[in-house]
Structures are given as structure tokens and as C-alpha cells.
Amino acid sequence: MDAVFQRCIDPACNGVNDLSDTSFLCPRCGGLMDVAYDWNRLTPPKSLSWFESKWSQRTNPLAFSGVWRFRELFPFAPPEAVMTIGEGQTILQQADVVAPYVDMKPGRLFLQYEGMNPSGSFKDNGMTAAFTHARMVGARRAACASTGNTSASLAVFCSATALMKAVIFIGSGKISYGKLAQALDHGALTVQIAGDFDDAMQRVQEVARKLGIYLVNSLNPFRLEGQKTIMFRVLEALRWEPPDWIVVPGGNLGNVSAFGKAFGELLDLGLLKRVPRLAVINAAGADTFYKLYEEHGLRWNQGKPDVAKSSSYFGKLDASDSRASTIASAIEINRPVSLHKALRALERCNGVVREATDQEILDAKAKVGSGGLGCEPASAASIAGCRKLRQEGVIGADERVVCILTGHQLKDPSATVAYHSADQKTFEEVLGKRGVRRATYANRAVQVPNDLDEIIKAIEVYS
């Protein structure tokens, strides 16, 4: 066996595939795969602060990338294979302006802003890794199903490198214009399916298998290797001192799975002594993970989850043709592909799951905006969830919390404009049908006649 390979996540199964396999499914049981490392034959660093040696190498693209500068912690690719477009130059904001909203003191709440990536979302962290693997296996076409950000990221990587053709599957009318614009502008073949994300996810797997197209959804374990680095950057920004909590929105559950793997490996390698707790926040209209974990008590159970619980849950969804529905379209997902990996992550990091209504998500989003960072609705679920966990006392007043802002504000301006709009019709059209009743933190535009005196008067009154 090579030092790097793919291994089934079920510890009892232990099915393996070569590094080059692109089915991303266990050959024995059909389950999810991890990228696995035989660390004894590799050279992981002796301490996390060792990575600081990369800070002085900004002209080396592999040291500049916020992903690849940590490549010793996911060493599956030779340096010459790496496809980087400068992803991962993101920041951790000490969010003292937002902190009171979640009942926290200054210096305790941080926002990890992944909207700064080239395609405007955290997906670039994983895409650079998957794209590198795709290049290693000689792929010419890459496909994904998407609620918009994975497809935008794939389109950007394909167009920036001209190495592959992007084929993307989206639910018709299910992605925001900002993201659709990216897919189109960057030249992806865009297949709009009469259905939602869960339908598109199903189809893209069938099509990828039939046509031998490389799949870049988070089913692809190489994606998750890249997404581990979001946590490495958080640690880096906190000078390698882990926070008490990481709060992340949950959709297909790739991110939380990657975070759990990252922390598990850091513990195993002796690079951390303590790991943060993980909190995953679902939208209330797409709350499969919340229901299964918090209400039905589904657990990883050391690799033996009670699959009868999830089968019966999904059976009921099918029987009632129940569809995910939320203004946070990025996480409008009822059948998370990485469910089992996410359960494993929560076991490892003592996790919890909560749900947030669209009202709570949009209010939290406005608060994040007033603190200087712009995020899309799905991202704000992390703040809405953090607030709830503070109210419940699950997160303590003195704990240090990092909420992940997964995507940029300009991805979905219609939700933002509708929230702040003074026009009741716009509000109702976009938000009313989602059960949003109020825009408590709205910043309304001021309407004035085209008259100097009136304009000056309005500014004096309102500023």
C-alpha cells in the first residue's frame, strides 16, 4: 500500500482504493472514502508554528496559497501537480461590533471570512485540492451539482487554468443570480434540471459515472482535504491556540466533515492537545441533520451509526415528497451527502446541531453587515446559531467562538436588498413567502426629490 491512499470511513470495513481512484466510493460497501495517510512514511511538521516559515515566501505560489502552505498536512500531491489560483487569502475578524448581538464580550467572537476567496466562497479551498487530483489523474472534464458556490468555484478554476471543461448541474430557479452569473460568465456548461439540489446531486453522480467525468462534489474526499485548511488558518490567526467553538452552517455537510478530520489528525499527530467543539447550523427549512442528530439521536457511535434511523427519516421525506425550502439557498439541502462523516466529526469534537429560521438568519446577516463584513444568507446561519447557543447557555459567556462566514454578500443581493427595502411589495415577494415578517435591522434608503434643499434637509435629519 502507498503512503497515501483512499480508505472507507467505516472502521469495520476498511475497504481501500488507490490514490488515483475517482469513484470515491468504497469498493466493498459503497460508503464514503477518506484520503488516508501513513504518517510514519511521510514528514508532517513537528509543530504548527513551523508553518510560519512560509510567511516569508510570498513569491512561491505554494507558500502564498492559504491552502497549499499547509500541504504537509494533506500531502497527496507532488508540488508540480498543484493547481492554485491564489485561494485562501482570508481573514479572521475579531468581531467586537457583532459580539453584543450574540451576547458576547469584546475579544470573544471571531468571524472567519471565506468570502474573500477568488470565487467568493469557501469552496475554493476544496476546489484547488480536487482540481489538483483531477489533474493528477488526467481528467478533461469536471462536474458538480450545486446550490451555486461549488459550481462558481469549479467554473473559475476551469476558466483560470483552461485545463478542464466545467459541467454543472443546478436545480432550475434554485440558485441566486450572483452565482448563476459566475457559472455563465466563466464559461461552464450549465445544465438546469427541473428539480432541486437533491435531484441534481443524484443525477450528476449517474452522469459522471456513465461519461467518466471527474466529480468535484464534496463526496470527493480530496475536496475535503483542501477545506481542512480553513481550520488551519483559524488556528494560525489565533497563534495556534484553539478556540472553544467553531460554528458553521450545514448543507451537504462537507465543511464540518473536513473540520472534524482536520482536528482529529492534529490530535493524532500531537500537534494540538485540545480541539474546539463544533456547532453545525441548519436552516429550519432544510434541517435533516438537526432532526436526525438532535431529535432522533443519530450518532456516529464509533463507526456504527443506526442507519435504520436515517433510512426511515429519508423514507418519510420521500413518501411526503418533502422538499428543502429556505432563503439561504446555499444550504437548501435535505439529503446531505456527507452525513456519516459529519456524525464522525461531531463525535470527535463533542458537537451540537441547531437550526435557524429564515427570519433569524436574515437578522443575523444584517448584524454581520453592520460589523463590516458582507456575507450571504447561508453564512449568517452561523451567527444566528451562535446566538441561540449563547441563549441556551451551551456556549459560555467567556468562551472564544469562531463563526465561519462561508460566502460573500454579493452572491445573493436580492435577499439583502429585499430585507433593507422600504418597498413592502419587494419585501413580500422575496421574503414574505419565507415566513420573514420583520426587518428589525433594516437600513432603508431615503427617498428624496431631486432638489438640493430637500437633499440637504434629509441628510441633516438622518445622519
**Residue number, 226 or 271, with CB nearest to ligand F0G:** 226
Binding to ligand F0G in span 248-287, by CB under 6 A: 249-255
Distance CA 110, CA 447 (A): 36
Q: How far is the CB of 411 from ligand F0G (least distance, A)?
A: 7
**Residue number, 121 or 359, with CB nearest to ligand F0G:** 121
* Contact pick of 66, 88, 118, 148 for ligand F0G (by CB under 6 A): 148
167: β partners: 143, 189
* Contact pick of 117, 128, 220, 379 for ligand F0G (by CB under 6 A): 379
Q: Is 146 in the site for ligand F0G (CB under 6 A)?
A: yes
User: How far from chain centre, in Å, is Cα 420?
Assistant: 26
Binding to ligand F0G in span 164-203, by CB under 6 A: none
- The mark string for 384-413 relative to ligand F0G (x by CB under 6 A, - otherwise) is ----------------------xx------
**Residue number, 17 or 121, with CB nearest to ligand F0G:** 121
Distance CA 128, CA 83 (A): 6
3-state DSSP helix/strand/coil percent for the chain, to nearest 5? 45, 15, 40
Distance CA 122, CA 102 (A): 23
**Residue number, 54 or 148, with CB nearest to ligand F0G:** 148
- Give the residue among 11, 82, 80, 75 at the shortest CA–CA distance from 38: 75
* Contact pick of 330, 356, 395, 415 for ligand F0G (by CB under 6 A): 330
**Residue number, 84 or 288, with CB nearest to ligand F0G:** 288
Q: How many residues does the chain have?
A: 463
Binding to ligand F0G in span 83-122, by CB under 6 A: 121
- Give the residue among 342, 38, 62 at the shortest CA–CA distance from 218: 342
Q: How far is the CB of 220 from ligand F0G (least distance, A)?
A: 12
Question: Count of H helices and E strands in the chain?
Answer: 15, 13
3-state secondary structure of 33: strand
Number of residues that bind ligand F0G (CB under 6 A): 22
Q: ∠178-373-369 over CA atoms, to 5°?
A: 85
Q: Which residues contact ligand F0G by CB under 6 A?
A: 121, 123, 146-150, 218, 249-255, 330-331, 376, 378-379, 406-407
